[in-house]
Structure formats: structure tokens, C-alpha cells
């Protein structure tokens, strides 16, 4: 019997890689649900190729358009994820991938856990803002969870269920992005096109900008703290330009392990899907030239000031993480719309993250998705009012 698969965000880069990996073993897998926001042509092509009967199109206008354009197809189009409850039974799905961009990925992640034996989530916002909700559902339904971000999947692989009491430190690596060797003066006038030129990874615009400011690493530290149930003091960031080493874990028995692979997301995705299965992935030979010149460096808070935001974070899961994500999302969007400069992007994120009006969120624990959504709306409303003034 074929193993059933769900891919949410199937038309994005992560979803497309997942589709390609499934395609290598079409006889073993059957895709039961795909989703996209607006890319109806690509998702229709995917659904046709893999004989997928149900597709969620999140954007209302795109959904209505798809119903007209593809009215003669045998595909059932849906406009929200509530259909999941009607289509599947508990643990019916072998593997679900959630690669929806933004906080919109949280609600379907929570919904899918019940129906999935294994779930991979790469959505940073969902993990950062709603980890306590996700973890509760994972434990309740005994669903296996795989963090897909290369740094977190590497840590996951290195510790291999070793208890926290035996771990001394975690290290996640950062390439330094496109501006690692830029002077402060040169950073004053960087363009959008420069910010979108990541040296190693091919990613979406928003996450590429986050990588250039190092906000991406702030988020990854938060993810690591939550996923691995540790403290911020135990997590360190190292600059490693080649993105070949993805993480290191130092244990209290004197052993330190590191994990290497090419900067290619198909590797963590493949290993999450084919976990404990007798399958192999063709990759490049070990690059000893890079290994002989790792050149790790401590990250400079002077060069990347947003790293200092880690010091603002509360010890426990709170709504302040949602505040931080929302502030960053808002100003990155403004930057990509050419409404603010790169210098202003960094300064505004830093400024409003320190605003006292948001501090009370540090004492509030997210009880449900609605709490998180209300917080996001409140923060955006305040930011819009301030930016108008």
C-alpha cells in the first residue's frame, strides 16, 4: 500500500523540492492534498501529474479563478483548510510537509498533526509564535516532528534523543549573508537587489532580507530554544561563510559533534521523509577544501545589531515572540516596497522591538491561534499609525 503524503505550500521552493523527492519513488507514495496561495497554474500541474484529487487555494480570488479555468478537471478545489477534517482519519497520513509562508501556516500545522504519523514544519513563524500549541498537539497525538530548517534538522540529527542534561552548548551557523564584509558606511546605501543576493542559498525575498540583517538567526535561536527545550544562554551563533557546517553540539562528556552537508534543502527534507527507510540520496563528495578552511567567527553585534534582540526575549513562551515577528514582517515589507531604506529597516525593527508599549506581551502566554492573530493585528495597527505620523 502506498504511503499517503500531504504538502502544504507545494508551489514554493520547499514544496517543490518535496514534490521532486516524492517523484523519485512514485510507486511508494500517494499525494492526497496540495495547497498554494495564488500559484494556481503550478498547483494544477502538480495535481495532474500526481493524480491529486484535493487542492486548497488559500487566496479567495485565485480560488474563484481556478474553479472557472479548471472547471472540467476532476480536481476538488477548496478555499480553506477545514476540509482536512472531512477528508482524513487520525494518523492516516504517513508524512505531511508544511511550507506555508508566514503565521498563516500555524493553524493548518495544528490541524494536520492529528492526521499525520510524521510532520515536517519549516514555517518559522508558526514554530516561533505557536510552539507551545504545536508541541501540545504533537504530544497528545504522538506524532513524530521534524524541524526542516537545516540548522535545526542538523541539531535534531546530532542529539538523537540524547537528554538535555548531557548537552553543554548548541551552535548554529550563519553565512553572514551578502553584507558580511561590508563596512558601516557601505551599508548605508545598499539596494534591494543587493540585499537579495544571498551567497549560498536560493530563498524567497523575505527570508533573504532577514538573512542579510541577521534577523533570520534571531528567529533560528528562538526556534532552537523552543524545539530543543533549552535556554538562550546555551545557544551560540557562529559565522561560517560557506554554509557547509550547519550546526555543532557540545556535550558535557567532552565530545563535540558537527554536521555538514551541501547548502541544499533537499537533504534535510529527504531525511525527514525517508527517515528509517532504506533509501539513498545522491549528493556531492565531501568537500575537504572547505573543511580545511572552516574559519568560524563569532558574530559581531556591532555589525549586525539586530542580534541584540535576543537579549529582550523572555525565558518562557509568550506573545512577545509574535510581536517581534510582526514588527520584522511589517518593516521588511516596507523595505521591499521601496518605502524605507535598508538602514531604516534595521533601525526601525530595533526601535519598535524596544518600545515599552509591547512589553506587557512578555507576560502573556498564547493559549490559542486567536491570541496570536489578535496580537499580530494589534501590533500592525500600531505600526501603521506610527509610520503615518
Which CATH number fits the domain that encloses residue 322?
Answer: 1.10.1740
Residue among 19, 13, 30, 22 nearest 99 (CA): 13
Co-location of 200 and 298 in the same domain: yes
Say if 219 falls within a structural domain.
yes
Domain interval for residue 29: 3-148
Co-location of 164 and 288 in the same domain: yes
Say if 336 falls within a structural domain.
yes
Along the 389 residues of the chain, how does pLDDT read in single tens digits?
Answer: 899 999 999 999 999 999 999 998 889 999 999 999 999 999 999 999 999 999 999 999 999 999 999 989 999 999 999 999 999 999 999 999 999 988 889 999 999 999 999 999 998 899 999 999 999 999 999 999 999 999 999 999 999 889 999 999 999 999 887 777 777 777 767 778 777 776 666 667 888 889 889 999 999 999 999 999 999 999 999 999 889 999 999 999 999 999 999 999 999 999 999 988 888 898 999 999 999 999 999 998 888 999 999 999 999 999 999 999 999 999 999 999 999 998 999 999 999 999 999 999 999 999 999 999 999 999 999 999 876 55
Q: Pseudo-torsion of CA 113, 97, 37, 40, nearest 10°?
A: -130
Say if 253 falls within a structural domain.
yes
**Which residues are CB-neighbours of 89 under 8 A, at least 6 positions away?**
115
Co-location of 137 and 203 in the same domain: no
Say if 351 falls within a structural domain.
yes
**Which residues are CB-neighbours of 215 under 8 A, at least 6 positions away?**
306, 309, 328, 349
CA distance 384 to 367: 26
Domain final residue, candidates 102, 132, 148: 148
* Tally of domains in the chain: 3
Co-location of 140 and 184 in the same domain: no
Co-location of 291 and 322 in the same domain: no
Co-location of 174 and 230 in the same domain: yes
Say if 268 falls within a structural domain.
no
Co-location of 39 and 181 in the same domain: no
Amino acid at each position: 500500500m502506498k504511503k499517503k503524503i500531504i504538502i502544504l505550500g507545494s508551489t514554493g521552493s520547499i514544496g517543490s523540492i518535496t514534490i521532486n523527492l516524492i517523484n523519485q519513488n512514485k510507486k511508494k507514495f500517494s499525494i492526497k492534498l496540495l495547497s498554494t496561495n495564488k500559484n494556481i497554474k503550478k498547483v494544477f500541474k502538480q495535481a495532474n501529474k500526481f493524480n491529486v484529487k484535493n487542492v486548497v487555494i488559500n487566496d479567495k480570488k485565485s480560488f474563484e479563478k481556478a474553479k472557472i479555468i479548471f472547471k472540467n478537471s476532476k480536481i476538488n478545489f477548496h478555499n480553506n483548510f477545514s476540509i482536512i477534517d472531512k477528508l482524513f482519519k487520525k494518523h492516516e497520513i504517513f508524512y505531511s510537509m508544511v511550507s506555508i509562508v508566514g503565521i498563516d501556516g500555524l493553524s493548518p500545522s495544528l490541524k494536520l498533526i492529528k492526521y499525520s504519523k510524521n510532520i515536517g514544519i519549516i514555517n518559522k513563524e508558526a514554530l516561533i509564535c505557536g510552539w507551545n500549541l504545536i508541541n501540545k498537539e504533537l504530544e497528545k497525538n504522538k506524532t513524530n516532528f521534524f524541524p526542516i530548517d537545516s540548522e535545526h534538522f542538523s541539531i535534531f540529527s546530532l542529539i538523537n534523543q540524547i537528554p538535555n542534561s548531557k548537552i553543554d552548548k548548541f551552535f548554529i551557523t550563519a553565512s553572514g549573508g551578502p553584507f558580511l564584509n561590508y563596512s558601516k558606511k557601505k551599508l548605508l546605501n545598499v539596494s534591494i537587489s543587493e540585499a537579495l543576493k544571498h551567497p549560498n542559498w536560493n530563498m524567497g525575498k523575505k527570508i533573504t532580507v532577514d538573512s542579510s540583517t541577521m534577523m533570520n538567526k534571531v528567529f533560528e535561536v528562538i526556534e532552537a530554544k523552543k524545539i530543543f527545550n533549552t535556554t538562550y544562554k546555551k545557544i551560540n551563533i557562529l559565522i561560517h561563510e560557506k554554509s557547509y557546517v550547519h550546526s555543532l553540539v557540545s556535550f558535557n562528556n567532552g565530545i563535540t559533534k558537527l554536521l555538514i552537508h551541501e547548502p541544499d534543502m533537499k537533504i534535510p527534507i529527504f531525511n525527514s521523509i525517508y527517515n528509517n527507510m532504506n533509501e539513498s540520496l545522491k549528493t556531492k563528495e565531501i568537500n575537504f577544501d572547505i573543511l580545511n578552511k572552516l574559519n568560524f567567527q563569532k558574530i559581531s553585534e556591532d555589525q549586525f545589531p539586530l542580534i541584540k534582540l535576543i537579549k529582550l526575549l523572555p525565558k518562557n513562551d509568550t506573545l512577545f515572540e509574535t510581536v517581534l515577528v510582526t514588527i520584522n514582517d511589517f518593516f521588511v515589507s516596507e523595505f521591499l516596497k521601496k518605502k524605507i531604506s535598508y538602514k531604516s529597516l534595521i533601525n526601525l525593527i530595533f526601535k519598535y522591538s524596544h518600545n515599552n508599549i509591547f512589553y506587557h506581551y512578555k507576560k502573556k502566554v498564547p493559549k490559542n491561534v486567536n491570541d496570536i492573530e489578535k496580537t499580530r493585528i494589534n501590533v500592525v495597527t500600531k505600526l501603521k499609525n506610527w509610520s503615518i505620523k
